[in-house]
């Protein structure tokens, strides 16, 4: 059984996201939102009227791979 932790701290239009994978952050409003994950990927989301939204992942993962 795995465990999960997530905490979000809102500071104005910024949001700091804490999880067991690391620290991420996001910025935006209702229509446009940019999120950076702990491994370095960026997600850009645009919300359109009528409940539609477009989402795009920009950049590659910067997750470090360790070899033993």
Report residues of the chain scoring pLDDT below 70.
Answer: 1, 61-68
Of 30, 35, 32, the closest CA to residue 15 belongs to 35
Domain parsing of the chain, residue ranges? 1-31
Q: Looking at residue 39, what is its pLDDT? A: 87
Of 5, 24, 3, 4, the closest CA to residue 15 belongs to 24
Of 33, 28, 27, the closest CA to residue 54 belongs to 33
Q: Looking at residue 12, what is its pLDDT? A: 87
Q: Which helix (H) or strand (E) holds 40?
A: none
Q: Cβ distance 26 to 13 under 8 Å?
A: no
Q: Looking at residue 58, what is its pLDDT? A: 87
């Amino acid at each position: 059984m795995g465990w999960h932790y997530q905490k979000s701290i809102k500071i104005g239009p910024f949001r700091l996201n804490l999880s067991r994978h690391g620290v991420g952050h996001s910025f935006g409003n209702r229509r446009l939102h940019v999120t950076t994950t702990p491994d370095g990927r960026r997600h850009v989301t645009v919300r359109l009227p009528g409940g539609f939204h477009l989402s795009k992942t920009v950049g590659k993962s910067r997750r470090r791979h360790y070899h033993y």
